[in-house]
Structure 1
Amino acid sequence: MQEPAQLDDILATLDADRDGAIARLLDFLRIPSISTDPAHGEDVRRAARWLRDELAELGFDAKIHDTTGHPMVVARSQPGSGRSVLFYGHYDVQPVDPLELWNRPPFEPAIEDTEDGPVIRGRGASDDKGQLMTFLEACRAWKAVHGALPSDLILLFEGEEESGSPSLRPFLESHADDLRASIALICDTALYADGRPAITTQLRGLVGEEVIVTGADRDLHSGSFGGLAANPVMVLAQALGSLKDETGRVTLPGFYDGVEEPDEALRRDWEALGFDAGEFLGRVGLSKPIGEQGRTPLEMLWNRPTAEINGIEGGYTGDGFKTVLPATAHAKVSFRLTGKQDPIKIREAFRAHIRSHLPKDCKVEFHDHGASPASVMDTSDPAFSAARQALGDEWARDAAFIGAGGSIPIAGDFKQILGMDSMLIGFGRDDDRIHSPNEKYNLESFTKGARSWARILAALR
């Protein structure tokens, strides 16, 4: 661990160079690195080059690695006796549509004053360029004070996170020996609440399924065929409606195999957060929680699996009225998984459930849209308590160990392929409007994020 005086010097250096750090981030944000749009392929590569050059200037051995898609950027500091750490972020960004809803051009970033203090406005400000730059600025200040970077650091930045990371698993598998470290750090999450830092210690997995039920060879007149011919929309609706019982539990056989209860210490931590489900739902125009009976709201969000219908269509939905029995019905369904649930078994159980509801004259086809298990981190690793203390020292509030209702597959990939846990520490806020027009990152998140990483690096040395 670094001496307090040395850490104070690093923090003072970060404060003194705040304007320079902001200028570097704004420069990075001007690159329209939209990975999903082929028209921006060269911009994505330009962002990779920008990162490589910044890292090389800091003293990292930095290289661009081509993939079948967008490139990876990998950088290393000098080997040493410290704990080896892999830091991950992504430099690609979401598309900007609808452009007319932006208050300023999305790739002309600027500092704006708001009621909540100054913010950095622009696409990628929070997701994830601003977040990854907090770590780079901490490394910059460390080098300014010590004359060298922290040893045994590996930095991995990808350019396809916003388009499903198709090249990431193959890259991890082919470079596993070079990327493996004792722990991974991921900066692509948020504060628990404004001003309260958090470490995400568990992530739900995901199974995505598309279902198409087909009946007659064409749409049928409901007066001529109704009551006699199979209606695929009714068939699919009945099958999907029976996925849950009256208590909110999923009815698929074996669905809860591998689901684990939070330990008492974690349960107490969650209770102490004072989560207000009514206030949370009120932000989106709702008021009353529903879901699995006998479970707290945070359990349902973080530690219980779900089955949700994400979209359903079939038949005539245009203006006016058309009395038909649709020939086909489509639905997209997702399952969020926890604990040790097996995504392949969940998929098989879902498909068997749909088939069991099909009348003789109907056919079904399925298209999978990903399957990843949940990730649960081993918080007994001393790194977690050290990082928790470092965050508390910076934010003057105890850092919370939290779960995440969403899925961040990279954490599972690190566990499965590289055999290491991840600490997910981010400084975004719920109102950062990531993936939406007018994305922003609070200036406090950027500056205190960099200071937080400086403290965590010192704690892990």
Structure 2
Amino acid sequence: MSVDKVLARASACRVESRARWFELLRIPSVSAQPKHAEDCRKAADWVRAQLAEIGFQAAVRETQGHPVVVAHHPGPTGGGRHLLFYGHYDVQPPEPLELWTSPPFSPAVTEGPNGPRVVARGAVDDKGQTMTWLEALRFWHEVAGGPPCRVTVLVEGEEEIGSRNLEPFLEANATELGADLAVVSDTNMWDANTPAISTRLRGMLYTQIDITAANKDLHSGLFGGSALNPINLLTRILGDLKDESGEILIPGFYDDVPELSEAQRKQWDALGFDEKAFLGGIGLSVPAGEVGRGALERLWARPTADINGIWGGYTGEGSKTVIPSEAHAKLSFRLVPGQSPTKVLAGLRDFIVDRLPDDAQVKIQVFSMSDGIEVPADSPWVTAAAGALSATFGKEAVLMGCGGSIPVVSMMKRVLGLDSLLVGFGLEDDQVHSPNEKFDVACFERGIDSHIRMLAALAER
């Protein structure tokens, strides 16, 4: 079957594709908020129905939390290459609502520098990106009777809360979910006209540190100068995490961090990344991070430690002279391939305990742990996908890193033994997780066409 016929069908059905995209966006499937539990199930049912409509055996499957959708298609012969497409139907909470220019679950079309764009929660993350490959599968069905190879689909509903029930599901259904490759569309392009394949992701260790001292809050006049203040202690410990050059001072932290190869450094330098413009878009002007490292190296190939929140004592209006009995902080580490989250956690614990005086206790809670991922740039899968992207965009695809984490990628590698192909169509200005999240219509449509071509290229690899 000619890929051109499938592409022509997709081109003729842009209005219908956009309408289906909007249907999914109207479902407020916020996984973090219990009041939206039924909406999450509604979104799962919607995805299942779409897959059943295009010839898949599809089912909504239960977990300890929100359900997942699993679907299978045997392809033209029931054999050959076998791809697993992953996506998620859940979205971030839309708050603060007052900052939206239109209701977050009523998709609005506005004009942007690259033409029309759709503003809605989940427009790009990940409903819009999931719809790019779902629509590609639809057009293969309508023109050729099905995809050009075996396909399994896995769409979950808890990615935005850490995929906490997905790993047990993968373990329980590992045989059913086996494939040659996982295809994930939850990343960005290089720019609006340049496609990209993400060949590396940073991992994550996300913790909460709780330090306690006295058995109650104390009057700072009666006890100040004698009683230990946990906030003073916590901020001093956190202040010790980095030196003035941005180096993280946990002993052994860099033991498993590889240096960037000269070839990789030259490739990234050739991309011409404008860090000044990158920072200017968010109101900043001076780079932070490790001194002496390149911008993309710091963003893609170096680990980080960031305080995400800190609290304790009295924070209301006016004054209250109190020495608090406890202090808390959220602390996250973005880790690079080779680093072990477990080893970093042990080093963090020792770092804190070594600085605790008598009468202070610490508890470290762990909310997320995932490994960094690196895909060989010369992988045949990458080569096949790059060719399909180049045919769609008329220019070569950039092989880039991603500073963020997609826990399911390391999860599928660990449990299913699957490598992932990370091809996304988002842009830097999509305001993911923020009010007025958007997805350019051109990116959505090129995403559909790219997946149509990638299905053929990966099936023939």
Taking structure 1 as the reference length, the TM-score comes to 0.94
Match of 1:268 among 253, 266, 269: 266
Q: In the alignment, which of 36, 39, 45 is matched to residue 41 of structure 2? A: 45
8 Å CA contact retained: 2:186, 2:423: yes
| Structure 2 gaps, min length 5 | none
CA distance in 2, matches of 1:83, 1:268: 35
Distance 2:398 2:102 in 1: 35
Moved runs in structure 1, 4+ residues, more than 6 A? none
1:202-241 equivalent positions in 2, closer than 5 A: 202-241=200-239
Give, in angstroms, the shift of residue 178 of structure 1: 1.0
Shift of 1:357: 0.9
Match of 1:150? 148
Q: Deviations over 1:397-422 (max 9, x none)?
A: 22111111111101101110111211
Report the equivalent of 1:104. 102
**Partner letter of residue 38 of structure 1?**
P
Cα separation, 2, equivalents of 1:321 and 1:140: 62
1:130 and 2:110 matched: no
Is 96-105 or 66-75 further displaced after alignment?
Answer: 96-105
1:110/1:364 Cα in 2 relative to 1: closer, same or farther (>3 Å)?
closer
SS of alignment partner, residue 157 of structure 1: strand
**Secondary structure of 1:176's match?**
coil
**Does structure 1 conserve the Cα–Cα contact (< 8 Å) formed by 2:114 and 2:192?**
no
Distance 2:249 2:332 in 1: 15
Match among 283, 286, 309 for residue 284 of structure 2: 286
Instruction: Tell me the number of residue pairs that the alignment of Structure 1 and Structure 2 aligns.
Output: 457
For residues 232 and 103 of structure 2, the distance between their equivalents in structure 1, rounded to whole angstroms, comes to 46
Query: Quick one: which amino acid aligns to residue 61 of structure 2?
Result: H
Are positions 1:444 and 2:456 aligned together? Answer: no
- Secondary structure at 2:385's aligned position in 1? helix
Please give the secondary structure, in 1, of the residue aligned with 2:267.
helix
Distance in 1 of aligned mates of 2:86 and 2:134: 11
Distance 1:426 1:237, change over 3 A: same
Match of 1:82 among 80, 87, 98: 80
Q: Distance in 2 between matches of 1:194 and 1:136?
A: 22
Match runs of 1:22-421 below 5 Å = 22-79=18-75, 80-421=78-419
Tell me which amino acid in the other structure corresponds to 2:380: P
Assess, with a 3 A threshold, how the Cα gap between structure 1 residues 31 and 290 changes in structure 2: closer, same or farther. Answer: closer
Contact between 1:200 and 1:403, CA under 8 Å: does it hold in 2?
yes
Deviations 1:151-195 (A, max 9, x none): 211111111212221221011111111111111110111112222
Structure 2 partner of 1:423:
421
TM-score in terms of structure 2 length? 0.94
Question: Structure 1 counterpart of 2:373, which letter?
Answer: S
Q: Deviations over 1:7-34 (max 9, x none)?
A: 2222111111111111111122222222
> Is contact 2:137-2:146 (8 Å) kept?
no
Q: In the alignment, residue 132 of structure 1 is paired with which amino acid?
A: T
Q: Is the CA contact (8 Å cut-off) linking 2:132 and 2:447 kept in structure 1?
A: yes
Where structure 1 has 5 or more consecutive residues not aligned to the other structure, the ranges are none
1:232–1:326 Cα contact (<8 Å) kept: yes
Provide the C-alpha distance between the structure 2 equivalents of 1:324 and 1:123, rounded to a whole number of angstroms.
Answer: 41
Moved more, 406-415 or 192-201: 192-201
The secondary structure found in structure 1 opposite 2:70 is strand
Identity %, equivalent residues: 50
- The CA deviation string for residues 252-299 of structure 1, in whole angstroms up to 9 with x for no partner, is 111112212233333222111111111111111111112212211111
Separation in 2, partners of 1:211, 1:103:
37
Deviates more, 1:372-381 or 1:86-95: 372-381
**Retained in 2: the 8 A contact 1:77–1:150?**
no
Stretch moving more, 315-324 or 130-139: 315-324
Q: Given that residues 185 and 422 in structure 1 are in contact (C-alpha distance below 8 angstroms), is that contact kept between their aligned partners in structure 2?
A: yes
1:350, distance to aligned residue in structure 2 (A): 0.7
Quote the residue 1:20 is aligned against: 16
Alpha carbons of structure 1 residues 277 and 384: separation in structure 2 relative to 1, 3 Å: same
CA shift, 1:322, in A, is 4.1
Moved more, 339-348 or 104-113: 104-113
In structure 2, the CA distance between the partners of 1:323 and 1:98, relative to structure 1 (3 Å rule), is: closer
Alignment-mate amino acid for residue 72 of structure 1: V
What amino acid maps onto 1:244 in structure 2?
Answer: K
| Counterparts of 1:187 and 1:391, CA distance in 2 | 13
Moved more, 314-323 or 33-42: 314-323
Say whether the 8 Å CA contact 1:313–1:330 is kept in structure 2: yes
Please tell me the residue identity of whatever aligns with 1:138.
Answer: A
- Quote the offset at 1:224 in angstroms: 4.2
